Structure 1
Amino acid sequence: MFRRSFWFTTGVAAGVWATTKVNRKLKQLTPEHLATQAANKALEAGNRLKDRAVGFALDVRDNMAQREAELEDALGIHADPELPAPRRHAAIENRTKPKTYVIDNTTYSYNRNEDH
């Protein structure tokens, strides 16, 4: 009697364990879960790539500054510590008043942000 109850309990426990495992695996294979996993992997890969690109850009900048210093020394050029202010170029001329055109005595504007 004791032996039968032991094996019955062991079988029930094994069944519960197997059912739980199968249900977890089935949940992981749903389309929503697979899409979430793919999106997370893509974000991680993008972040890794961005970090490497930033590191590469910093290395290039450091090496560029070092090479410029070497060339300045070789050519005997020493830059002034005070550089002139950078020039500003207007990207868009006269932003306050958009350009207009007239067709059949009707005035239209070139403002792309305007609802049409």
Structure 2
Amino acid sequence: MFRRTFWFSTGVAAGVWATTKVNRKLRQLTPESLAATAADKALDAGHRLKDKAVGFALDVRDNMAQREAELQEALGIDGKPLPAPRRHAAIENHDTQKTYVVETTTYPYNRNEDH
């Protein structure tokens, strides 16, 4: 009698376990679940890529600063900033106290002559 009860309860337990396992797998294969899984993986990949890009940018910046220091040493530049470029002409508007900068460029010929 105990033998039959043991095998009966073992069969029930195996059936419950198999049913829950199949139901979990079916829930994982629904379109909503697949879309959520794909979105999560895409976000993780994006974060990993961003971290690598930031690390690469920092490496480039460090190497750029090192190379710039080497070039300044080789050229004998003391690291002072270059003077600001000169402006050609300035027109003041006394009504609004703003200064407008006008770049003057002359061409040796009229560009519209050819048309």
TM over 0.5: yes
* TM-score, L = length of structure 2: 0.69
Which structure has the larger Rg? Answer: 2
Aligned mates of 1:38, 1:65 — CA distance in 2: 40
Q: Structure 1 pair 9/63, CA: closer, same or farther in 2 (3 Å)? A: same
Q: State percent identity of aligned pairs.
A: 81
Aligned mates of 1:66, 1:54 — CA distance in 2: 18
Give the alignment of 1:1-116 within 5 angstroms: 1-80=1-80
Aligned mates of 1:61, 1:11 — CA distance in 2: 66
- How far 1:42 sits from its partner (Å)? 0.2
Structure 1 segments of 4+ aligned residues over 3 angstroms from their partners:
82-85
Which has the higher relative contact order, 1 or 2, with Cα contacts under 8 A spaced 6 or more apart? 2
- How far 1:83 sits from its partner (Å)? 7.6
Q: Structure 1 pair 76/83, CA: closer, same or farther in 2 (3 Å)? A: closer
* TM-score, L = length of structure 1: 0.69
- How far 1:38 sits from its partner (Å)? 0.1
- How far 1:79 sits from its partner (Å)? 1.5
**What are structure 2's unaligned runs of at least 5 residues?**
85-115
Query: Deviation per CA, 1:44-85, whole angstroms, max 9, x where unpaired?
Result: 0000000000000000000000000000000000122x7879
Q: Structure 1 pair 69/9, CA: closer, same or farther in 2 (3 Å)? A: same
